[in-house]
Amino acid sequence: MKYIPEPFKIKMVEPIKVTSREERAEILARAHYNMFGLPAESVYIDLLTDSGTGAMSDAQWAAMMRGDEAYSGGRSYVHLMDVAGEIIGYDYLQPVHQGRAAEKVLIPLLVSRRGQIVVANTFFDTTRAHVGLAGARPVDNVCQEGLDSAKAAPFKGNMDIPGLEKLISKHGDNVAAIFMTVTNNSVGGQPVSLKNMRETYELAHENGIPVCLDAARYAENAWFIHEREDGCQERSLRDIAREMFSYGDMFVMSAKKDGIVNMGGMVGVRDDGELIAKVKSNVISFEGYLTYGGLSGRDLEALAVGLEEGLDPDWQRYRVGQIQYLGDKLQQAGVPFQNPVGGHAVFIDAGRLLPHLKWNQYPGHALATQLYLEAGIRSCDIGSYLMDRDSVTHEEQQAPFEFTRLAVPRRVYTQSHMDLIAEALADIAHAPEKVPGFRITWEPPVLRHFTSRLEPIG
Ligand code: F0G
């Protein structure tokens, strides 16, 4: 259990405040027990997401001052294209304001008729929603190992290749596209191997199906490949990333993760003039002119620098090491989680920690609520509460897991914060039966977990 020291020092601080348990009980009730409804000021350690919550470097802040705010053809756009082009190497790259903007631009262009399916190693919730909005059915198809939280394996985010073969032979040309999420957020930030990406790509191409990478955490994925995949130990992260991108025809990216910016995204395509023209048209309608794509020039500069920093091996060793340290502490305390830990988060297996709760009493959400109540730590459910209802039958859907995700922002928290998180969870694990389940009292039609209202049962 070694904590890898920070490869940076702190130049600016933001005070955080400890509230009392009584205050937190009131705050929770006022927020209708929705973690997104909590005022951030009332949170001591915020593990709600690693998205857009990282600390920028001095180099990024300096670059922002050079932001060129020209409407068209700005210098900052050229800078971003140069950097991203070297890493990714596609024919066309386009900045957009965040990941779901890329999804909104690209996914409707992939679905040509009703009744099609789109397969993924597991969709993130916004990607899943956009597939549904485009009129297709999202189908998750992760490898078996990914579904067993207790069993450690190096690449639990992989696509299930035999499963994909079956889906293709059953649905034929009704498979509109294949998505590869790297790292695989919804199954625990688990990595995908180069071998699996290559096999998926080859199988897709034999059948004329396009592959789209969801590359939000591509740099963490490259680090895991560097550490775990045969023959990759001597390769640079940049070289590995380049090969990863070669196993896609297109990609969407939320740059708020491994791009280490507070806002930003990208979409890119290879080799298809027709698709590029359609992407451009959607971007101009939804995001803005092509050379800014919904971002200001200073954002484009920060992203250009952040993309480089995200591939620094010293950074990734520390980044993934910090999460592994937290996982080791939890293991020592007997708290079950998706093992091994992911690149951006520890996914506590709340289903196993709270066996007295049924899936539709949302164990992942229940644990998140308790963790806030006990220690002011905010996390979130990645389980049946997060799952939207079936888009056709409107039935509740049971997720394969009931996770509580502890997502760690980049360059924000230190070892003592990790220790405090582990202690708080160890305390809850001593008397798990005290944690109540939840019911939903109001919910919107899609992406319900952001805004629904809940109450504790009993
Ligand atoms: N794809 C993946 C794998 C993601 O994790 C996210 C966002 C998105 C797409 C959408 O990107 O937020 O920039 O629109 N994930 C965040 C999270 C919100 O907390 O995991 P976005």
Report which protein residue has its CA nearest ligand 1's atom 13: 99
Report which protein residue has its CA nearest ligand 1's atom 18: 51
In this prediction, residue 446 has a pLDDT band, given cuts at 50, 70 and 90, of confident
Q: Rounded distance, CA 210 to CA 204, Å?
A: 7
pLDDT the model gives residue 273:
85
Question: Residue 36 has which token pair?
Answer: 């997104």
**Which atom of ligand 1 sits closest to the CA of residue 256?**
13
- Known catalytic membership, residue 124: yes
**Distance of CA 191 from the midpoint of ligand 1 (Å):** 16
Residue 272: pLDDT over 90: no
- Known catalytic membership, residue 278: no
Query: Is the CB–ligand 1 distance for residue 254 below 6 Å?
Result: yes
CB distance 363 to 351 below 8 Å: yes
453 Cβ contact list (under 8 Å, min separation 6): 32, 33, 34, 440, 441, 442, 443
For residue 211, what are the β-bridge partners?
178
pLDDT the model gives residue 60:
98
CB distance 260 to 306 below 8 Å: yes
CB distance 376 to 28 below 8 Å: no
**Distance of CA 214 from the midpoint of ligand 1 (Å):** 9
Q: DSSP letters of 82-122?
A: HHHHHHH--SEEEEESSHHHHHHHHHHHH--STT-EEEESS
Q: How many CA atoms lie within 13 A of 338 on its CB side?
A: 33
In this prediction, residue 66 has a pLDDT band, given cuts at 50, 70 and 90, of very high
Query: Is the CB–ligand 1 distance for residue 100 below 6 Å?
Result: yes
Query: Is the CB–ligand 1 distance for residue 126 below 6 Å?
Result: yes
- Known catalytic membership, residue 251: no
Report which protein residue has its CA nearest ligand 1's atom 4: 124
pLDDT digits (tens, 9 = 90+) for 291-347: 999 999 999 999 999 999 999 999 999 999 999 999 999 999 999 999 999 999 999
pLDDT the model gives residue 271:
81
**Distance of CA 80 from the midpoint of ligand 1 (Å):** 21
pLDDT the model gives residue 391:
75
Query: Is the CB–ligand 1 distance for residue 98 below 6 Å?
Result: yes
**Which atom of ligand 1 sits closest to the CA of residue 126?**
10
Query: Is the CB–ligand 1 distance for residue 49 below 6 Å?
Result: yes
pLDDT the model gives residue 1:
79
Q: What is the Cα gyration radius of the chain?
A: 21
Most distant CA atoms of the chain, gap in Å: 60
The amino acid at residue 67 is G
Q: Rounded distance, CA 242 to CA 235, Å?
A: 11
Region 224-232: what's the mean pLDDT? 98
pLDDT digits (tens, 9 = 90+) for 377-425: 999 999 999 988 887 889 999 999 999 999 999 999 999 999 999 999 9
**Distance of CA 383 from the midpoint of ligand 1 (Å):** 16
**Distance of CA 216 from the midpoint of ligand 1 (Å):** 7
- Known catalytic membership, residue 216: yes
**Distance of CA 89 from the midpoint of ligand 1 (Å):** 23
Query: Is the CB–ligand 1 distance for residue 130 below 6 Å?
Result: no
CB distance 103 to 261 below 8 Å: no
Query: Is the CB–ligand 1 distance for residue 270 below 6 Å?
Result: no
Nearest to 252 by CA among 115, 368, 88: 88
Cα of 153 vs its chain's centroid, Å: 20
- Known catalytic membership, residue 71: yes
Burial 280-308 (b: 16+ CB within 10 A, else e): eebbeeebbebbbbbbbbbbbbbbbbbbb
Query: Is the CB–ligand 1 distance for residue 259 below 6 Å?
Result: no
Q: Rounded distance, CA 382 to CA 227, Å?
A: 27
Exposed, middle or buried by CB within 10 Å (0-12, 13-18, 19+), for 414? exposed
pLDDT digits (tens, 9 = 90+) for 153-204: 999 999 999 999 999 999 999 999 999 999 999 999 999 999 999 999 999 9
Q: Rounded distance, CA 236 to CA 403, Å?
A: 33
**Distance of CA 126 from the midpoint of ligand 1 (Å):** 7
Nearest to 180 by CA among 267, 231, 133, 244: 244
Helix 297-310 and helix 75-88, axial crossing angle in degrees, nearest 10: 30
281 Cβ contact list (under 8 Å, min separation 6): none
Report which protein residue has its CA nearest ligand 1's atom 11: 99
